[in-house]
Structure 1
């Protein structure tokens, strides 16, 4: 089972270089499994036993199954994750021509580790909006092939490189796409029009706008002497999206289950389609009874906020609390923070720990060092907006927010197993 799930994750990562592509890939899998797409602009008629999904902004998705048991009796089992990852986004007027090279200006999205972006084979993907035959349309594109690179400065010209140096995002990160013979202005939008034609057979009248990200073309892979690791881009947090999808598809039909995969977590989640926006609440209000019954359902429910955790690194073990150093391949991690950077309580942690023990899934705990700051997740945001009891968990990883992250090759199976059990659990307390 390890190999099958890991290969599925690798395929999912390859198909999902941006949140737009991740959402489209999730939607394809859901439709193939019999989930009905819902349009937020149209009336809904959600019935017991029904399977549905809805997207917003093409970059966030909520899928849900209404179980045979009424939500008012059994509550909801929610798994939350996010579709976005730190990256380099192309600026609106990106063309740069310097020293005979064509480059594109980029903006850093989220808290990216910048140094690993140098000397990588980069491609470009995202959403393009254009006018065709008098109508405004949007389409996803993915160049797939490596078309750009950000070369390092040779150590001969930067003798302090190995002592560390601040990377200037404005000056040092524009990728090189080509060598150009003249100073004649380059039209980046013409390149996008060519790609739309090549990829989709479309001939736009004019490119109106775009949301495009560079990404590393190196495929994710199972690595290590004994194949104990999985390395790849966007493990934070497409790994959790994939695990949640697999669990939802494997779960029974008795209970009501929800998978929430929202955009913009890496920049605070404050958007129409982010966890700090109204998306989840509005979807649940349309799918569930109103008024007092809605509140009763939420208070009978539980959200598992699934986002990667920091594994203890053998070269930097002192960055962890001595009693809380999660290991790779040792199971999901319950994340705790008394300052509410995580939404875990003793009751929600206790339930998740019980679920792991009952299903023979190893489980670990994480708290940050008391002299270090702590990151956060969609857990506290969703809990505060919806009032739903929440536990923050995640799989242990190295190099979070790098262009290439590392996780344990056995841990995905552990996570899918416990999330499947959660979706099928008759009791939530």
Structure 2
């Protein structure tokens, strides 16, 4: 029953977190109910204190959550977890107005490496962030038009049987969603009456989209919309499935399951700060799926900035640079991103001796070419954490994964943070099937194992080689 409750919580999390902006907003709201305080990067952090619990956001799409041990001293180190908030999706083009053969369409860009054919013939909704002007000030407004709004229709099999045999659509011409019948749509008529057309909002946003945003945000005029970051998502809600409700059927499990684990683990660990000598910290970054090189990505100075400001606040008369470098040397980092279960229909795609099994617990990811950050040392530390029975905790099963020599290998933010900051790191992930599909398959028991492992990481002692 406990694992079933976890399953329901994960489904609720995935339902609410339709994009990076809604994910950060959902996590911030949940943490606020557990007395986490949001800090502003542009203001002083003079109120930091031992035993305090804090949130830092950047771009409203990346978030850091941390709790300071009551026995923390500068240089003691950080228990650091990282993940990411973004997933492959279709994003609106800045000039998105299209029409063809009586249909009004919306131009989209491909974000990340999605399995794009899974997006065809799905009921698609719209969400994201809108920038509006209100009394000469700029405001960020979240929006979620949660109804079947768009669709990328396939060509029927009778008209192109060869196409369906290979299914290789031209993603510029054939992955264009329809949103309305041009001549009949009442919203289009309303847009014409308001007299905004292809000259407004970057020269050609679909007028029906503008009208929908206006109504959803209850704006006086769509002309107050200055810009936006909008994406499409599967309107089919996440669910538990299988004969025993043990599977999770949902989009965005890569990597929102890790975000859920990070949030739950840091909340679960906040009642044990009294004897903590370190800082417990989790970063969830945007833009991992496209390389992390952004203002809010893992390849920015975000981690270093927050770490340095926190350490220096407590350093007093001690050398701030010395305390910061000692902190890095005494820290341990777990990079958490989804892993690939061995597929029952494609088992040959896995290395024979390292097939991550469903129910086998979190997967340690290993790559000698440093696509993952794991080393023999960092793996040993992770295994010791998993096996620990400190504070009455139970051992957590873990397993290992390396790709075949004849197979490409993905990567994570782990090597990026390890090399940029010089923190000993390991890469792990909870497994799933159909990664980057619009409908991935996860397993409830392994999510629970993930929560248990990261909670132990935060609450127990991290073994060292001293």
Q: TM-score with structure 2 length normalisation?
A: 0.89
Preserved contact between residue 75 and residue 324 of structure 2 (Cα < 8 Å): no
Unaligned segments of structure 1, at least 5 residues? none
Residue 263 of structure 2 corresponds to residue 240 of structure 1: no
Query: Which of residues 317, 330, 336 in structure 2 aligns to 1:306?
Result: 336
Pairwise mapping of residues 190-205 of structure 1 onto structure 2 (< 5 A)?
191=208, 194-204=211-221, 205=223
2: CA distance between counterparts of 1:386 and 1:11?
Answer: 35
Residue 368 of structure 2 corresponds to residue 338 of structure 1: yes
Residue in structure 1 matched with residue 281 of structure 2 by the alignment: 258
Preserved contact between residue 149 and residue 177 of structure 1 (Cα < 8 Å): yes
Structure 2 counterpart SS, 1:41: coil
Preserved contact between residue 114 and residue 167 of structure 1 (Cα < 8 Å): no
Residue in structure 1 matched with residue 54 of structure 2 by the alignment: 52
Preserved contact between residue 71 and residue 297 of structure 1 (Cα < 8 Å): no
2: CA distance between counterparts of 1:160 and 1:71?
Answer: 67
Instruction: Check 1:71–1:324 CA distance in 2 against 1; reply closer, same or farther (3 A cut).
Output: farther
2: CA distance between counterparts of 1:408 and 1:353?
Answer: 21
Preserved contact between residue 125 and residue 213 of structure 1 (Cα < 8 Å): yes
CA drift of 1:121 comes to 0.6
CA drift of 1:197 comes to 4.8
Q: TM-score with structure 1 length normalisation?
A: 0.96
Preserved contact between residue 4 and residue 246 of structure 2 (Cα < 8 Å): no
Preserved contact between residue 385 and residue 462 of structure 2 (Cα < 8 Å): no
Structure 1 counterpart SS, 2:91: strand
Instruction: Check 1:195–1:181 CA distance in 2 against 1; reply closer, same or farther (3 A cut).
Output: closer
Query: Which of residues 391, 394, 398 in structure 1 aligns to 2:433?
Result: 398
1: CA distance between counterparts of 2:328 and 2:73?
Answer: 9
Residue in structure 2 matched with residue 175 of structure 1 by the alignment: 177
CA drift of 1:428 comes to 3.5
Residue in structure 2 matched with residue 322 of structure 1 by the alignment: 352
CA drift of 1:178 comes to 1.0
Q: 1:337-393 CA distances to partner (integer Å, 9 max, x unpaired)?
A: 000000001111111112222232111100000111110001001111111111100
CA drift of 1:136 comes to 2.2
Q: 1:222-281 CA distances to partner (integer Å, 9 max, x unpaired)?
A: 111122211101000010001011000001212420010000000000011100011111
Residue in structure 2 matched with residue 221 of structure 1 by the alignment: 239
Residue in structure 2 matched with residue 361 of structure 1 by the alignment: 396
Preserved contact between residue 132 and residue 203 of structure 1 (Cα < 8 Å): no
Structure 2 counterpart SS, 1:293: helix
Residue in structure 2 matched with residue 274 of structure 1 by the alignment: 297
Structure 2 counterpart SS, 1:410: helix
CA drift of 1:221 comes to 1.1
1: CA distance between counterparts of 2:156 and 2:164?
Answer: 11
Preserved contact between residue 84 and residue 264 of structure 1 (Cα < 8 Å): yes
Instruction: Check 1:146–1:5 CA distance in 2 against 1; reply closer, same or farther (3 A cut).
Output: same
Instruction: Check 1:212–1:170 CA distance in 2 against 1; reply closer, same or farther (3 A cut).
Output: same
Residue 212 of structure 2 corresponds to residue 211 of structure 1: no
CA drift of 1:192 comes to 5.0
Instruction: Check 1:286–1:84 CA distance in 2 against 1; reply closer, same or farther (3 A cut).
Output: same
Residue in structure 2 matched with residue 383 of structure 1 by the alignment: 418
Preserved contact between residue 189 and residue 207 of structure 1 (Cα < 8 Å): no
Residue in structure 1 matched with residue 391 of structure 2 by the alignment: none
CA drift of 1:130 comes to 2.1
Preserved contact between residue 359 and residue 443 of structure 2 (Cα < 8 Å): yes
- Identify the range of structure 1 (116-125 vs 129-138) with the bigger mean alpha-carbon deviation: 129-138
Preserved contact between residue 98 and residue 206 of structure 2 (Cα < 8 Å): no
Instruction: Check 1:210–1:193 CA distance in 2 against 1; reply closer, same or farther (3 A cut).
Output: same
Preserved contact between residue 75 and residue 300 of structure 1 (Cα < 8 Å): yes
Preserved contact between residue 121 and residue 149 of structure 1 (Cα < 8 Å): yes
2: CA distance between counterparts of 1:101 and 1:259?
Answer: 46
CA drift of 1:5 comes to 1.6
Cα-Cα RMSD: 1.7
2: CA distance between counterparts of 1:273 and 1:91?
Answer: 21
Residue 405 of structure 2 corresponds to residue 370 of structure 1: yes
CA drift of 1:160 comes to 1.9
2: CA distance between counterparts of 1:329 and 1:212?
Answer: 36
Q: Which has the larger radius of gyration?
A: 2
Unaligned segments of structure 2, at least 5 residues? 199-203, 313-319, 389-393
2: CA distance between counterparts of 1:338 and 1:215?
Answer: 36
Instruction: Check 1:407–1:85 CA distance in 2 against 1; reply closer, same or farther (3 A cut).
Output: same
Preserved contact between residue 335 and residue 366 of structure 1 (Cα < 8 Å): yes
- Identify the range of structure 1 (336-345 vs 224-233) with the bigger mean alpha-carbon deviation: 224-233
Q: 1:311-342 CA distances to partner (integer Å, 9 max, x unpaired)?
A: 11011111110001101121000000000000
CA drift of 1:152 comes to 0.9
Residue 326 of structure 2 corresponds to residue 296 of structure 1: yes
Number of residue pairs matched? 429
- Identify the range of structure 1 (162-171 vs 330-339) with the bigger mean alpha-carbon deviation: 162-171
